[in-house]
Structure 1
Amino acid sequence: MNTIFHSSSRKNPLFVMSPLTKGYVAMSVVLFIWSGFALTVRAVGASSLSIADVMLIRFSVPLVLLTPWVLSSWHEVKSIRLPDIMFVLLGGVPFLLLAAFGASTVPAAYVGTILTGTPVFFAALLSFIFYRQRISLRKFAALILILFGIATMIGGHAQSIPNSLLYGVGLLLMASLIWAGYTLGLKSTKLSPIAIAIVLSYTSFFLTLMMVLSGIVETNIGSVSFDEALPFILVQGLGVGVVSTIAFSYAVKQLGSIRTLLLGSLSPGLTAILATLILNESLSVIMICGIVLSTIGVILSNRAK
């Protein structure tokens, strides 16, 4: 019963669009949610919420909201292949843990640039390793430009680069690698966007709960006010957990993994602007240059044959 992107109605313009256009619309929504994701994971350190609290919110909200679709999607869920579920789960606990820990030591602009700018590099690398897809010299040069943009941002941070910044960037790059694997997995799986969201939220929630109960991660959920948790409920739970997961899965199905990641490269600039307006983070000229170089690298990498 996936009625979010499909309908028999002919009156709503959204439903007379081509599948390709719907994919672009879905990805446009994802861009704004991703920027909100980068800002909220960066804001965890300034709140009384722990990373475990954010993870519980992230996965519990879709778990509840998607309950009406569980029975209708059960025929897909019960027949899921092990490789599919492994790829899908990459976008849950592993990605969020690395992204949250990495974001705690770097500016929000770094989070948006690395998490949305470098996955296309790792996607090409993984495609070469697992699917033997060759990388042309022009494409390789464009991918290197992405990494050069990241290096420009880091090098321009200060005269001496703090270890905490390198640590955070390293974790974000690992998260980016995992996200690239998740994206490639979405393209190959036969699961619908709703089924993907259900599998991701349910399994990730119970995995997070096990980590909390075993003491691997700590939770402060009992001492957090609703007003403080509300932004995370809206952005992480509703936005990322439900809307973004379904919309991104749909976009990958319609546009392909590489084209989807190309559109994702527009997120860093949006994140940097929002970080300046909302979190009062400074945006130096060198950081802007790094963002621009990374974005150009992503665009060129997808134009190169």
Structure 2
Amino acid sequence: MSAVTFTNNEKSTSTTVGYAGAVVTVLIWAAWILATRHSATTQLGTIDIGLIRYGIPALALAPVWLKTGLLPKGVPIALLVTMVAGAGAVFFQLTTSAIHSTPASAAGILLGGSMSLATALIGVIGFQERPDVMRVFGLAAIVAGVAILLVRSLAGASLPGSSFVLLPMAAVLWASYTHAFRRSGLTAVQASALIAVWSFLIHIVLAIVFGTSIASAPLGEIGLQVLSQGLLSGLAATVAYGLAVHALGGTQAAAFTAITPVLATIGGGMLLGEEIGIAEIAAAIITGLGVALSTGIASRR
């Protein structure tokens, strides 16, 4: 009896850790959108923020990438390039440039929703995956949420057209990274370390070519980005999401990302003073529900 009780308690603890990791991840992702949106009002450019975003994880995870090497054996170059572009430098530059001109509420919907949609479409087209009815409903809800934003934008010219191009493009990159990572044979920590160091090197080159304003930026702004971009998004979110996937499984952990558009919408209104109407709230809720369903959490299998 005592042995069974210990096993159940162990399982309960693991589940609790998983839920905590998922919640922490979603909160960090929402905060990342808000912090990136806020940086548009400062003198920090996308290259400056990129140096912070990838420099800290590259330094912290140096023992990992020094051990694997910058070009780890057994990992095709094409997969490594896809991972670095999809979750690293190219993805970051697209999203940051777009978020600088896009309200946080819309950015959360366009990026968070498009990620799930793009991942599913690549799976269907490239790897013959067959989504069930509930996942199809989820993808349809994501499209509906984005359509609400598009109609509102066309009616009130509230969103720049680049938002509907750059953020979905970034989502496709992230989806490509997801499929590439699953076939790379790397662990989550190894992949994170390689993406961080390669992206940091790319941003160093960009800084040399185009310049950087980090040295003249206020310490308070640098500190905010170090916290939100480097420590939280770059390190803490990676570990927290790994715990969630390990304890809950990928499907259930991914379902928590449905909260991100809602939190980004609320945060944009409360912290950044953005105007939030019924359309934004409806789009956030519908997209969040769509992301949850598209993960398969409500499916029979």
Contact 1:153-1:291 within 8 A present in 2 as well: no
Question: Counterpart of 1:271 in structure 2: which amino acid?
Answer: A
- Normalising to structure 2: TM-score of the pair? 0.85
CA RMSD of aligned residues (A): 2.8
Aligned equivalent of 1:55: 50
CA distance in 1, matches of 2:131, 2:10: 37
Secondary structure of the structure 1 residue equivalent to 2:161: helix
Q: What is the CA–CA distance in structure 2 between the aligned matches of 1:192 and 1:263, rounded to whole Å?
A: 22
What is residue 149 of structure 1 aligned with on the other side? 145
Q: Distance in 2 between matches of 1:26 and 1:184?
A: 22
| Equivalent AA in structure 2 for residue 110 of structure 1 | A
Q: Select which of 180, 203, 211 maps to 2:206.
A: 211
> What amino acid is the match of 2:212?
T
Alpha-carbon spacing, 1:244–1:88, altered in 2? closer, same or farther (3 Å):
farther
Post-superposition offset of 1:60: 0.8
Which sits farther off after the overlay, 178-187 or 253-262?
253-262
- The answer (yes or no) to whether the contact 1:104–1:168 under 8 Å persists in 2 is no
2:286 paired with 1:293: yes
* 1:74 pairs with 2:47: no
- Could you tell me how far apart the structure 2 residues matched to 1:254 and 1:197 are? 19
Q: Deviations over 1:58-97 (max 9, x none)?
A: 01111222234455x4389733502542343120111111
- Cα distance in 1 for partners of 2:93, 2:70 equals 28
Give 1:229 deviation, angstroms.
0.9
Note the 1:126-275 alignment, pairs <5 A: 126-136=122-132, 139-157=135-153, 159-161=155-157, 165-215=160-210, 218-249=211-242, 251-252=244-245, 257-275=250-268
TM-score of the two chains, using structure 1 as the length reference: 0.84
Cα deviation, residue 153, structure 1: 2.3
Q: Which runs of 5+ in 2 are unaligned?
A: 1-5
Of residues 258-267 and 219-228 in structure 1, the stretch that sits farther from structure 2 once superposed is 258-267
Matched residues, percent identical?
Answer: 24
Q: 1:191 to 1:154 in 2, by over 3 A?
A: same
1:249 deviation in Å? 4.6
Alpha-carbon distance change, 30 to 87 in structure 1, aligned in 2, over 3 angstroms? farther
Separation in 2, partners of 1:126, 1:112: 21
5+ residue gaps, structure 1, are: 1-9
Aligned residue pairs, count: 289
Is the Cα–Cα contact under 8 Å of residues 260 and 288 in structure 2 kept in the other structure?
A: no
Instruction: Confirm or deny: 8 A CA contact 1:41 1:99 kept in the other structure.
Output: no
Question: 1:154-196 CA deviation, whole Å, 9 max, x = no partner?
Answer: 323473436x622112111111111122223333443223212
Distance in 1, Cα, partners of 2:29 & 2:111 = 9
Give the Å deviation of 1:51. 0.5
Paired position in structure 1 for 2:121: 125
Q: Report the CA distance between 1:283 and its aligned residue.
A: 1.1
CA gap 1:227/1:299 in 2 versus in 1, 3 angstroms: closer
Letter of the 2:231 partner, please give it: L
